[in-house]
Amino acid sequence: MSYTKIIAKGKEERKDIAAHIIMEAGSSGVEEISKGSNINIIGFIETEQSLNISQIKKELSKVGYSLSVSEYNETGWEHKWKKGIKPVSVGSFFVRPTWSKAKTPSGKKLIMIDPGMAFGTGTHPTTKLCLKAISEVISVKGKTVLDVGTGSGILAIGAFKLKASKVMGTDNDPVALKVARANTRLNKSSISFSGRNLSSLKGGFDVVIANIISGTLKELKKELKGKVKKGGALILSGILNNEVDDLQNSFTDDSFIKEKNLKSGEWSAIVMSRKP
């Protein structure tokens, strides 16, 4: 199988953003190689996937990263990025990749993840913020939950393990849906997944989670808000700190109010509620 090899070069302090951009573009993971005060973030995307190189370059340039692209025809890279994914303890959860043998700390709920070609290993700040939100900020016990852009299914699985009454995940990537279903079976969870547009899904949910990127959150604003039941909660993540005010203002109206902002490094999540 052939891949497109992407190398983003820039300052180490902004590596999380660069890695996020590359994984959003379709890389299942990244390899980091330090070069003094700089770092190379390396990702691999299947050649058959549709890539907008100019858009990736534009997004990386915003955080001071340059981009180089080349063809790659080997598959050994998969083992390299797996080495960089370690178990994570966040909120009520202990997230462990399937190849790790780490023991689950007392009192933590285990989520086992094999990300495959989907985003969501628990290591990225945006995922951590969402896991923290559903375990420490709002209660999902006995509630219906919708995870938009589910990726590996990690947030949907977390909601199920916190005893949500019904959990659904959506994604427009069929590969991600396949990975999410596999991880659901791995965690012995009962979750339904769909590749349909939000607007075509029937009914509302007590809690809606969307860990995407700010631009997409804005595009889906009407659909996301429409899926939250009255008295329900909306968790938005994938937001850079300097985008919080703009996004928050965009979602706030007579029905939706901000409850709390969560922050990790350069990333933020917003927890909102819909008035009864």
pLDDT tens-place string over residues 42-61: 888 877 666 788 889 998 99
Confidence check: pLDDT of 17 > 90 = no
pLDDT tens-place string over residues 127-146: 999 999 999 999 999 999 99
268 or 31, greater pLDDT? 268
Confidence check: pLDDT of 270 > 90 = yes
pLDDT tens-place string over residues 186-216: 999 999 999 999 989 989 999 999 998 888 8
Q: What is the DSSP letter of 7?
A: E
Confidence check: pLDDT of 76 > 80 = no
Confidence check: pLDDT of 183 > 80 = yes
What are the backbone angles phi and psi of residue 173, rounded to the nearest 5°? -105, 110
Percent of the chain's residues with pLDDT above 70? 92
Both tokens of 202, joined, read 């029937």
What mean pLDDT is reported for the chain? Answer: 89
Question: What pLDDT was estimated at residue 24?
Answer: 79
8 A C-beta contact, residue 48 and residue 175: no
In CATH terms, 3-82 corresponds, of 3.30.70.120, 3.20.20.70, 3.40.640.10, 3.30.70.100, to 3.30.70.120
Distance CA 42, CA 142 (A): 41
pLDDT tens-place string over residues 230-266: 999 999 999 989 999 999 999 999 999 999 999 998 8
Give the DSSP H or E segment for 133: none
Which of 133, 123, 129 lies closest to 96, judged by CA? Answer: 123
Q: How far is CA 165 from the centre of its chain?
A: 22
Distance CA 200, CA 170 (A): 11
| Sequence ranges of the domains in the chain | 3-82, 117-274
Mark residue 203 as left, alpha or beta (left: phi above 0; alpha: psi -120 to 50; beta: remaining): left
What's the CATH superfamily of 117-274? Vaccinia Virus protein VP39 (3.40.50.150)
Question: What pLDDT was estimated at residue 253?
Answer: 93
Looking at 88-97, 175-184, 251-260, which range is the least confident one?
Answer: 175-184
Confidence check: pLDDT of 27 > 60 = yes
Q: Are strands 66-72 and 267-274 parallel, antiparallel or unpaired?
A: unpaired
Spatial neighbors of 253 by CB under 8 A, at least 6 apart, are none
Strand partners, 3: 46, 72
Question: What pLDDT was estimated at residue 210?
Answer: 97
Both tokens of 187, joined, read 């965690």
Confidence check: pLDDT of 4 > 70 = yes
Strand partners, 192: 168
